[in-house]
Amino acid sequence: MREIYLSGYNNFVLPFMLGMIFVLSWCIIGAIRVILQLPKEDRKRFFMSLVNPKIMLKNIRDWFCDCLFHVKLWKRNKLLGYMHSSIAFGWFMIIVIGHIEVFLYTPERVHQIWYPIFFRYFVAVTESTMKGSFFFFLMDFFLLVILSGITLAIIKRVRSRLFGMRRTTRASITDLIGLYALWSIFPLRLLAEGFTADISGGSFLTKSLNGVLHSFLSDHMNMLPTWWAYSIALGIFMCILPFSRYMHIPAEILLIPMRNAGIKVRHARKGFAKLQVYSCPSCGVCIDACPMGAVKANIKDTTVYLNRQIKRYNEKRIEEISDKCLLCGKCTALCPVGVEGDRMRIAQRSIRKYNLSPDYSNIDENMLLERCNKFVSSTNNDVSSTQNQKVLYFAGCMTALTPVISKSTQSVLQKAGIKFEMMDKDGGICCGRPMLMAGRKEQAEEMVAKNTAIIKASGADTLLLSCPICYKIFKEKYHLEGIEVIHHTEFFDRLINEGRLSIKGSDTRFVYHDPCELGRGCGVYEEPRRVIGRAGVLVEADKNGKESICCGGSLGSLTLSFERRKALTENALNNLTVASPDVIATACPLCRSTFNRYSDRPVKDIAEIIDEATRRKNR
Amino acid sequence: MFGFRISPSSAINLDNVSRDRFSELCRIEPDALRCMACGSCSATCPAAEFSGMSVRKVLLYLQRGKEEEAFKIMNNCMLCGKCTMVCPRGINTRHLLLTICRIYEKEDRR
Amino acid sequence: MKEIVVIIGGGIAGLEAASQLLKLGYTPIIVEKSGQLGGHVAQWNRLFPDMTPAKDLVSDLIASSKDANIFLNAEISFINRLKDNYNVMLSNGISIISRYILFTTGFRLFEAQKKEEYGYGIYNQVITNADLEHWFNTGKDDRINGKEIKSIGFVHCVGSRDEKARNSQCSKVCCITAIKQAIEMKEKFPDAEIYCFYMDLRLFGKKFEDFYIKAQRDHGIHFIRGRVSEVSENIDGNVIVKAEDTLLGKPIKVTLNLLVLMSGMVCNPDSTRSASMLSLPIDSDGFLKSSDNVMHITSSPRNGIYYAGACTGPKTVPETLAEARSAVLEIHSRIIGQQK
């Protein structure tokens, strides 16, 4: 290789350099701001994680898997995955190989950052460098890969359904500018390199294009405008990047190590929350995920629009969007970059001022404790109870309104010979989760403290819960050392495995609805299914597990009125009944009563199903 | 013991009650007008035992200009949502309560 | 030729309509899906306000309509409209061609187990108004027999005036039924304390207020203005009911040996199914929609199709009978008008 121009510079690199300097300084300043906005202990935790080899290894893996290969999107839809990873990985490889070329052939130019980008303009191929044809081939190959991705992106713009997406985001103006700039970068690069391929060398793509171009445009003077165009496209893209959704590219690089360091959203707008907002690629996966999407008017209330409104400081819309959400967590579970739609919304709720300062100091926990510290031994003599386990059963507020669940649970406990006591048979203190969901953390903590005192003083060693809403907060926010917190589905599964409950199956077909707070909230998917499988035939819903659709009754939403939830429930029921089950099984009192209102077939809690299945045997 | 004391009348004079803030509340949460005072919310409320909390009463107090009383009983609300679950008129009581807390400024309370 | 009128539903409205049509010289055909005539009233024991035995009313109606063609255990398979006639195909294979159809399809009692918090079907002490009438009639119900009954509660508005139960309308007759049943129970269990939990007492009919006064003064029945929101069970197998005494503004609870749920009236799904075959409109309350609710309660918007009784909304027995006669008169005038 030899250089054509002594200076190694041409004016056309200016747009690129302008964009590059702008975007680099923007990102560096942004990153420093985000890090400075973190609370002190979080910042420390973040820096510590960077020297932890285990976390660093995970960071590197995540950078490759998430940023370059888009593994999560591959799992959703192959075409969508290919589209994203071809552009991201292809571009990455072109930059890497471009630098390798510079290192190999013109090492003295390394410090000129535009040089690797416009390498082909500045050099001419020589006899000796035909060895470089390997790199030439690679460069053309990855350019082709990117171009195929761009072609798919253009098709997706018109027909998103092909990519497994029913609905996509409506792009903002800056997004559109960025999009068109991005689309034009690589065809322009191909054109520019095509013009110069006979001088600078090239491979199957650029070389053949060069042949075609020279058949009607022989003047080398034509090449300069195309390089200018290429540089301008890059410059526009980089200048618009901080104001468009493409900001997710640099933001995600920082988001991954922060997430791996275990940093949580603590402030509604600053620090990690800000980073999440900028990491949102506006891909619209959350639009299809959102259970509220059953009603078209709700589409604009999905996480992608929340992020967009936060960027625009549109307080009115931020409030509407964050108050309406059911907090089912499905957008968080499916988000390819890991934006936590539910946590973000709770954070938005928490900065709102209310003129009420609840005070729970008048609540007498001793009186409540008096009601629940007499553990009664089971009257069932068939089961020899060797263990001295003391189970405290906290049915929860919602279960008080679906008494069949607490009655069945107690009946099962009796049959298994468990020594138990009910914590809230005559009313109790709310677990605090609904308060937390409303963004009122301090008040929730007061309730947590009251309940903790009662549970610890009761002398129980196991806390059994029927309601997944309670279960989540008891697992995450309560500090009950030495007391096991367990949901009734898990507890029954254990009792069956230990042989303390004998169950007779039937040929009833059950479909299991994963309650949001139990499945996505606490990661309990297997135990309920195992338990149901013992009592009958388990069939699956269309969308299940991590993708289960919220029943619509969630306490998460503050503003969704009763009537407006109906369509959501009906949509969820349609999803559940695809395999025409006889009974809809669930493990949440709220899901049970919500479904029961509109369902055409029986809706039962797992506790009821197990109670019936144990009764069958006794007959 | 049976003497007369000079104390403010406990009677409500509707002529002196301002309806501005309640109208504002109804604009944001029209459900405020749907209550038929059945008492389901108060009966199921876990906080009622401690503070006499009752959404029904809060709404009535506000409509009768007794804002201080309304806020006194709201102090123990845990936002648990049981009242929303039982309300036969389908009132979104949680949002109603939060909206009340935002509209009625502390210093304005009588 | 004697004009045929198809009557869908062999309850009291259908029977009364049939007997009136017979008197006018027409040929009524009653289609009844169950195996017996008399509908809901046949299951009842005594009727307010005169405590008339329901059995007498039903047997009188059956006697006076015995010359009608009656198909028991017959459901409507389909109805379609021919030029001026309707073709009604029954599940027993019989098809009837007629110019007139009278819907007397009535109502369905709200399924009390749908109100999960009241524990019907879960607690052994919770029954419905229909269960209680059945017990009055037969004396058979293990939930009542063989137990010491010291306290009884009646819950008004179960599945009525309740958006959550998907019926926001008042069922009209539950208040008076509850008072009637409370008095009857007090007569059977003089020592028992009886509580009626109501939201609003709606006692609009002839002599209903007398009933109310009688229940208060002669029987000492307690009326508590507050809707029951939670029912739980204690260790002795009794139920604890939670409500608010809204007049005092205090939450109250009471332990009961028996809890009676006053299931309301909801639209009969069979009538909406038949109505949809003729694309008849359904009103916002779920019942069939009359052409207007003042002058033409018994007329549908379609020629030759008429309504009587609770298929257009909750009705008392006298109202239902009056509507049946009124519908027959409408049909009669139309037939006469056509013959001219």
DSSP string, A352-390: ---S-----TT--HHHHHHTT--PBPP---SS---S--E
Distance separating alpha carbons of residues B103 and B25, to the nearest angstrom: 7
- Helix extents (H) in A417-486: 433-437, 441-458, 468-476
Write down the pLDDT at residue A141. Answer: 92
Closest approach of chain C CAs to the CA of A405, in angstroms?
10
- Do C216 and C319 have their domain in common? no
Instruction: Give the residue among A536, A543, A489, A541 at the shortest CA–CA distance from A512.
Output: A541
Among candidate residues A7, A14, A8, the one with its CA nearest the CA of residue A227: A14
- Same domain? C10 vs C87: yes
**Mean pLDDT along residues B1-28:** 79
The total of other beta-carbon atoms located within 10 Å of residue B19's CB is 12
pLDDT at B4: 59
Of C264, C297, C328, the last residue of a domain is: C264
- β partners of residue C225: C198
Which CATH number do you get for residue C30? 3.50.50.60
pLDDT at A428: 86
The tokens for C66 are 């015995």
The answer on C130 and C257 residing in a single domain is yes
- Cα(C212)–Cα(A589) distance, rounded to whole angstroms? 39
Residue C131, pLDDT > 60, answer yes
Which helix H or strand E contains A394, and what residues bound it? Answer: strand A390-394
Per residue in A414-427, is it b (16+ CB within 10 Å) or e — as a string?
bbbbbbbbbbbbbb
Q: Is A569 on the interface with C (CB under 8 A)?
A: no
Report d(CA A571, CA A587) in Å as an integer.
Answer: 19
Closest Cα of chain A to B57: distance in Å?
17
Instruction: Please report the pLDDT score of residue A362 as a whole number.
Output: 82
CA distances from C143 to C140, C147, C237 (A): 9, 8, 11
pLDDT of residue B6: 60
Q: How far apart are CA A69 and CA A87, in angstroms?
A: 10
Alpha-carbon gap, residue A470 to A396, rounded angstroms: 7
A54 Cβ neighbours under 8 A, 6+ residues apart: none
Judged against a pLDDT cut of 60, whether residue A619 lies above it is answered with: no
Q: Which domains does chain A have, with CATH numbers?
A: 2-7+71-250 (1.20.950), 264-350 (no CATH), 365-496 (3.40.50.1860), 503-618 (3.40.50)
Final residue belonging to a domain, choices C232, C264, C296: C264
B86 to C164: CB separation less than 8 angstroms, yes or no: yes
Specify the higher pLDDT residue, A200 or C116: C116
pLDDT of A379 over the 60 cut = no
C256 and C308 co-located in one domain: no
Contacts of A602 (CB under 8 A, 6+ apart): A582, A583, A584
Q: Which two tokens stand for residue A207?
A: 């070389």
Asked whether residue A219 carries a pLDDT value surpassing 70, the answer given is no
pLDDT tens column, C5-41: 999 999 999 999 999 999 999 999 999 999 999 999 9
In this prediction, residues A304-327 reach a mean pLDDT of: 93
pLDDT digits (tens, 9 = 90+) for A66-103: 888 888 888 888 888 899 999 999 999 999 998 888 88
Domain match, C193 and C256 both:
yes
Share of chain A above pLDDT 70, in %: 96
Region A535-543 average pLDDT: 94
Beta strand C265-267 with C305-307 is unpaired
> DSSP secondary-structure letter at C120?
B
pLDDT digits (tens, 9 = 90+) for B23-47: 999 999 998 999 999 999 999 998 8
* Model pLDDT, residue B23: 92
Mean pLDDT (chain C, rounded) = 94
Q: Which of A32-36, A234-238, A239-243, A375-379 has the lowest mean pLDDT?
A: A375-379
C83 plus C138 within the same structural domain: no
Q: Helix, strand, or coil here: A88?
A: helix
pLDDT at position C22, please?
96
Distances (CA, A) of C180 to C55, C133, C209, C221, C256: 17, 11, 12, 11, 19
B80 has a chain C CB within 8 A of its CB = no
Residues A558-589 as b or e (16 or more Cβ within 10 Å = b): bbbbbebbbbbbebbbebbbeeebebbbbbbb
What is the reported pLDDT for B110? 41
Q: What type of residue is A349? A: R
What is the arithmetic mean of pLDDT over A426-438? 90
Sheet holding C239-245, edge to edge: C230-233, C239-245, C250-256
Provide the number of structural domains found in chain B. Answer: 1
At residue B50, does pLDDT exceed 90? no
**CB distance from C230 to chain B under 8 Å?**
yes
In terms of pLDDT, which residue wins out, A135 or C158?
A: C158
As for how many domains chain C has, the answer is: 2
Contact C226 B43 (CB under 8 A): yes
Q: Using CB atoms, which residue from C114, C122, C164 is nearest to A403?
A: C122
Contacts of C161 in chain B (CB under 8 A): 36, 88
Output the pLDDT for position A617.
52
Residues in B touching A436 (Cβ below 8 Å): none
Pairing, β C76-81 against β A390-394: unpaired
Unique residue bearing structure tokens 């779920």:
C286
Predicted pLDDT at A218: 63
Task: Report the b/e string of A70-106 with b at 16+ CB within 10 A.
Answer: bebbbebeebbbbbbbbbbbbbebbeebbbebbeebb
Task: Quick: pLDDT tens for A492-511.
Answer: 999 999 988 888 889 999 99
Q: Which residue carries 């259908």 as its tokens?
A: C14
Reply yes or no on whether the pLDDT at C299 is more than 50: yes
pLDDT-derived band at B3 (thresholds 50, 70, 90) equals low
Residues C326/C308, Cβ–Cβ less than 8 Å: yes
Query: Across the interface, do C231 and A593 touch by the CB < 8 Å criterion?
Result: no
Q: Are residues C133 and C221 in the same domain?
A: yes
Is the CB of B102 less than 8 angstroms away from the CB of A432? no
- C125 and C77 co-located in one domain: no
* C129 shares a domain with C84: no
| Inter-residue contact A206 to A197 (CB < 8 Å) | yes
The predicted pLDDT at position B109 comes to 46
Let me know whether C258 and C182 are in one domain.
Answer: yes
Q: CB atoms < 10 A from the CB of C73, how many? A: 13
Measured distance CA(C21)–CA(C100) in Å, rounded: 12
**Inter-residue contact A350 to A441 (CB < 8 Å):** yes
Question: What confidence category does residue A575 fall into, taking pLDDT thresholds of 50, 70 and 90?
Answer: very high
Contacts of A505 (CB under 8 A, 6+ apart): A534, A535, A536, A613
Query: Which one, of C48, C4, C14, lies nearest residue C311 by Cα?
Result: C14
Of A487 and B10, the structure prediction assigns the larger pLDDT to: A487
Asked whether residue A62 carries a pLDDT value surpassing 70, the answer given is: yes
Chain B's closest residue to C246, CA to CA, is B39
Give residue-wise pLDDT tens across range A277-295: 999 988 888 999 999 988 8
Kindly provide the ipTM of the predicted complex, given to two decimals: 0.90
All residues of chain A having their beta carbon less than 8 Å from the beta carbon of residue C233 are 403, 407
Beta-carbon contacts of A588 under 8 Å, excluding residues fewer than 6 positions away, are: A398, A467, A468, A469, A515, A517, A518, A551, A605
- On whether residue B13 sits in a domain, the answer given is no
> Distance between CA atoms of C289 and C299, rounded to whole angstroms?
9
CB nearest B44 (choices: C162, C229, C245): C229
What's the domain range around C218?
112-264
CA atoms of A251 and A171, how far apart (whole Å): 19
Q: Answer yes or no: do C227 and B41 touch at CB < 8 A.
A: no
**Cα atoms in the 13 Å half-sphere on the side-chain side of A523:** 2
Q: What is the mean pLDDT of residues C86-114?
A: 94
Closest among C63, C130, C65, C132 to C102, alpha carbons compared: C65
What is the C-alpha separation between C172 and C156, in angstroms, rounded? Answer: 11
Give yes or no for residue B86 having a pLDDT over 70.
Answer: yes
Residue A264 structure tokens: 């949580």
Please state the rounded mean pLDDT for residues A540-545.
Answer: 93
Neighbours of A142 (CB within 10 A): 21
* Pair (C15, C151) in one structural domain: no
Give the C-alpha distances (Å, rounded to integers) separating C199 from B41, B67, C119, C265.
13, 26, 20, 17
Range with the lowest mean pLDDT among A85-89, A377-381, C271-275? Answer: A377-381
Residue A397: its chain B contacts at CB < 8 A? 46, 80-82
DSSP one-letter string for A291-329: GGGGSGGGGGGSHHHHHHHHHHT-HHHHHHHHHH-----
Cis peptide before A107 (omega within 30 of 0): no
Whether residue A214 is predicted with pLDDT greater than 90 in this model: the reply is no
DSSP state of A70: -
Last residue of a domain, one of C264, C288, C322: C264
Instruction: State how far the Cα of A63 lies from the Cα of A66, in Å rounded to an integer.
Output: 6
Locus of tokens 């407006």: A564
CA distance A145 to A99: 19
Mutate to test the interface with B, among A327, A352, A355 (most CBs of B within 10 A): A355
Rounded CA separation A236/C337 (Å): 84
Which domain, by its residues, includes B94? 19-105
- Residues of C within 8 A of A593 (CB-CB) are 116
Say yes or no to pLDDT of A384 above 60. no
Farthest-apart Cα atoms in chain A, separation: 100
Domain co-membership, C143 together with C247: yes
DSSP bridge partners of C288? C282
CB atoms A434 and B79 under 8 Å = yes
pLDDT at A512 over 80: yes
β-bridge mates for residue A2, sequence order: A124
Give A533's contacts (C-beta < 8 A, 6+ positions apart). Answer: none
Answer whether C232 sits within 8 Å of A562, measured CB to CB: no
Question: Is residue B5 one of the residues assigned to a domain?
Answer: no
Measure in Å the smallest separation between the Cα of A402 and chain C Cα atoms. Answer: 5
Is B107 in the C-facing interface, judged by CB distances under 8 Å? no
**In this complex, which of A432, A555, A558 lies closest to B98 when CB atoms are compared?**
A558
